[in-house]
């Protein structure tokens, strides 16, 4: 694997590697906050990952998917794999859960959004529980044996889950859009990879001066 395909801690397997201690709800908050502010870049897709990399490591790292890079390189020399060349480039945005800046963003986002998030979280929990009950009731049954009312209710509940999750993401997105630290961390990681150019670079420089 290439040295820029992942964080160093993931490239070098260690016997004493510590487990990520951040809870799933906390990871969801950070994912929603950062994912909503990653800029759109043509045929490039970004995936958020949260790793425990130590307090001294960088807060945000951008790496390119090793698998997708290899497939694209092979597509240039093998005609049968040309479709990989048309697929978007895949990059991972790794958030260091141990870094103070990431932890500060988590605390601030939780505090700023908790009141608006609470009613949607309650709706989401009820909806997921009901969806689980309906799916469990279908187990071991043929499609024609499941009551039509249950099928319709499951469709409505799953639709409600998607709508509620969308509202939660919107709330975190509104918060993140006004958080200069979030934008600064993303831009720094992109800059390190040579992916910050033009107007985006000018905005980064201006914001950096304001923060100083």
**Is residue 51 in a domain?**
yes
pTM above 0.95, yes or no: no
pLDDT in tens, 161-195: 999 999 999 999 999 999 999 999 999 999 999 99
82 shares a domain with 54: yes
Q: Is 99 helix (H, G, I), strand (E, B) or coil?
A: coil
Q: What confidence tens digit (pLDDT) does each residue in 75-117 have?
A: 667 666 565 556 778 899 999 999 999 999 999 999 999 999 9
Average model confidence (pLDDT) across the chain: 87
| φ, ψ at 87 (rounded to 5°) | -75, 155
The model's pLDDT over 137-150, given as tens digits with 9 standing for 90+, comes to: 999 999 899 999 99
**Is the CB of residue 109 less than 8 Å from the CB of residue 33?**
yes
Position 36 pLDDT exceeds 60: yes
Count of domains forming the chain: 2
Q: Tokens at residue 146, please?
A: 């499941």
For residue 3, is it within any domain?
Answer: no
Q: What is the structure's pLDDT at 59?
A: 96
Residue 187 falls within a domain, yes or no?
yes
Residue that the structure tokens 């609470």 belong to: 118
Domain range enclosing 70: 8-105+179-211
Pair 16, 121 in one domain: no
Instruction: Establish if 1 belongs to a structural domain.
Output: no
The verdict on residue 165 lying in a domain is yes
How many helices (H) and strands (E) in the chain? Answer: 8, 3
DSSP letter at 15? Answer: T
Same domain, 59 and 28: yes
């Amino acid at each position: 694997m290439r040295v820029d395909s992942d964080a160093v801690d993931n490239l070098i397997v260690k016997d004493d590697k510590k487990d990520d201690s951040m809870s799933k709800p906390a990871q969801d908050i950070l994912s929603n906050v950062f994912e909503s502010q990653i800029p759109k870049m043509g045929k490039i897709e970004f995936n958020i990952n949260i790793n425990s990399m130590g307090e001294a490591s960088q807060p945000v790292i951008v790496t390119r998917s090793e698998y997708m890079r290899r497939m694209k390189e092979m597509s240039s020399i093998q005609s049968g794999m040309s479709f990989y060349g048309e697929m978007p480039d895949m990059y991972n945005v790794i958030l260091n859960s141990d870094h103070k800046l990431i932890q500060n963003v988590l605390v601030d986002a939780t505090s700023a959004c908790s009141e608006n998030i609470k009613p949607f979280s309650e709706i989401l929990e009820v909806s997921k529980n009901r969806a689980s009950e309906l799916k469990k009731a279908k187990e071991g049954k043929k499609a024609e044996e499941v009551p039509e009312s249950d099928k319709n209710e499951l469709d409505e509940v799953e639709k409600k889950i998607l709508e509620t999750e969308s509202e939660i993401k919107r709330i975190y997105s509104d918060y993140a859009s006004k958080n200069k630290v979030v934008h600064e961390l993303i831009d720094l990681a992109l800059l390190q990879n040579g992916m910050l150019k033009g107007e985006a670079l000018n905005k980064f420089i201006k914001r950096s001066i304001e923060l100083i």
